[in-house]
């Protein structure tokens, strides 16, 4: 307590549990919210990882780093760790997730993914059959994406220390000639598009855990998006930002872009596509679908004049058949995401504070 009887910061309750929706300070220990894709994770990266490792490529804050090993070639390089629980869920599994997640991160920079590496953390006692199913799924996903897995590693840890298995993947691809996209390139006057229904992956994983409280046929949307991205980049040269709204969902992803580009993004609530089953689950559980993770959806920010051309191209692809415009980019208030609601109001759509659904990516 302070001299005047007020509690000190250190004496305040510190929520260290698996779910932390409140942006409390967690200065000394990691909590589940640090993996949410929201404010806690951004603070961890900004304060702990970036200062000692800082360089212009990391500082750009995109899904993949772009480097130029020589004057003729630009490469996009990305890495990701996958810790989903359960390992198998409707529409996918940790193996498909590991391949698609890294393929998509490389493709979001306007690159053609070519090669992946994979590292496996295996828990003592996990069934060989489980590993074989996961690897078979990785093979199928890599074949669909058109990439090769060219190197790997395995480590085994004691029982109870890996939740079955964890997978890390890294990917590399070559940037398409003349393409320049990135989170800092959104411009006032641009429109914001999404390739389909949001929130499917997070609710599908929650259903696989038996935590919905009712039967559901919702399938994860996990998919490789590189061929869809190549099609729209071929159709238009007015695409400024590509991003997959994974952890933290559409809301946190657009907040990152608004900050990177120093712009305001305004969403139209009635235009945001959410399946009735996902909307119903979110309403029952108190979730906002804007913050639910997706693993096969694409956000495109592009010049207004090319919007219809890009939409038409996306709708011709199986992973973009429900593409729509959900908002636009304006100048002020900078670094903000706002929502025009269905009842005519306007509210701030902030970045996710803590952890909504642990272990879904």
pLDDT digits (tens, 9 = 90+) for 35-69: 777 788 888 888 899 999 999 999 998 989 999 98
Per the CB < 8 A criterion, the answer to whether 348 and 337 are in contact is yes
Check pLDDT > 50 for residue 226.
Answer: yes
CA atoms in the 13 A half-sphere facing the CB of 201: 33
Q: Kindly report which listed range (27-41, 131-145, 210-224, 271-285) carries the lowest average pLDDT score.
A: 27-41
Here the tokens at position 88 are 């198998």
Query: In Å, what is the CA distance from 183 to each residue of 174, 225, 259?
Result: 18, 18, 9
Q: Can you give the pLDDT at residue 69?
A: 87
Distance CA 82, CA 74 (A): 27
Here the tokens at position 217 are 């046929």
Q: Can you give the pLDDT at residue 25?
A: 54
Mean pLDDT, residues 338-359:
83
Q: Can you give the pLDDT at residue 38?
A: 77
Strands 190-194 and 324-330: antiparallel
The number of angstroms, rounded, from the C-alpha of 165 to the middle of its chain's C-alpha atoms is 21
Per-residue pLDDT tens over the stretch 68-118 = 988 888 999 999 999 999 999 999 999 999 999 999 999 999 999 999 999
CA torsion 298→43→102→105, rounded to 10°? 40
Largest CA distance in the chain: 68
Provide the 10 A C-beta neighbour count for residue 211: 10
pLDDT category at 293 given cuts 50, 70, 90 is: very high
Per-residue pLDDT tens over the stretch 183-192 = 999 999 999 9
């Amino acid at each position: 307590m302070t001299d005047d009887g007020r509690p000190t910061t250190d004496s305040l309750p510190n929520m260290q549990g698996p779910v932390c929706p409140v942006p409390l300070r967690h200065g000394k220990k990691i909590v589940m919210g640090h993996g949410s894709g929201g404010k806690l994770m951004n603070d961890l990266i900004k304060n702990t990882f970036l200062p000692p490792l800082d360089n212009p490529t990391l500082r750009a804050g995109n899904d993949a780093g772009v480097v130029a090993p020589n004057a003729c070639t630009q490469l996009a390089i990305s890495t990701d760790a996958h810790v989903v629980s359960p390992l198998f869920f409707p529409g996918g599994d940790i193996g498909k997730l590991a391949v698609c997640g890294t393929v998509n991160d490389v493709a979001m920079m306007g690159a053609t993914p070519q090669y992946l590496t994979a590292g496996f953390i295996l828990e003592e006692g996990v069934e060989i059959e489980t590993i074989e199913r996961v690897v078979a799924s990785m093979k199928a996903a890599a074949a669909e994406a058109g990439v090769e897995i060219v190197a790997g590693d395995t480590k085994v840890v004691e029982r109870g220390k890996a939740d079955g298995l964890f997978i890390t993947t890294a990917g590399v691809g070559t940037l398409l000639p003349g393409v320049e996209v990135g989170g800092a390139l959104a411009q006032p006057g641009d429109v914001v598009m999404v390739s389909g229904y949001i929130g499917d992956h997070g609710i599908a994983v929650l259903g696989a855990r038996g935590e919905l409280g009712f039967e559901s046929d919702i399938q994860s949307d996990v998919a490789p998006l590189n061929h869809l991205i190549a099609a729209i980049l071929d159709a238009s040269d007015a695409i400024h930002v590509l991003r997959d709204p994974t952890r933290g969902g559409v809301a946190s992803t657009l907040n990152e872009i608004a900050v990177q580009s120093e712009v305001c993004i305004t969403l139209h609530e009635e235009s945001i596509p959410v399946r009735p089953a996902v909307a119903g689950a979110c309403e029952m559980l108190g979730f906002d679908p804007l913050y639910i993770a997706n693993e096969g959806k694409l956000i495109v920010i592009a010049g207004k004049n090319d919007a219809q051309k890009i939409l038409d191209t996306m709708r011709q692809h199986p992973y973009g058949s429900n593409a729509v415009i959900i908002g636009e980019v304006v100048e002020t208030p900078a670094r903000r995401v706002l929502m025009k609601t269905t009842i005519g109001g306007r509210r701030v759509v902030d970045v996710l504070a803590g952890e909504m659904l642990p272990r879904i990516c």
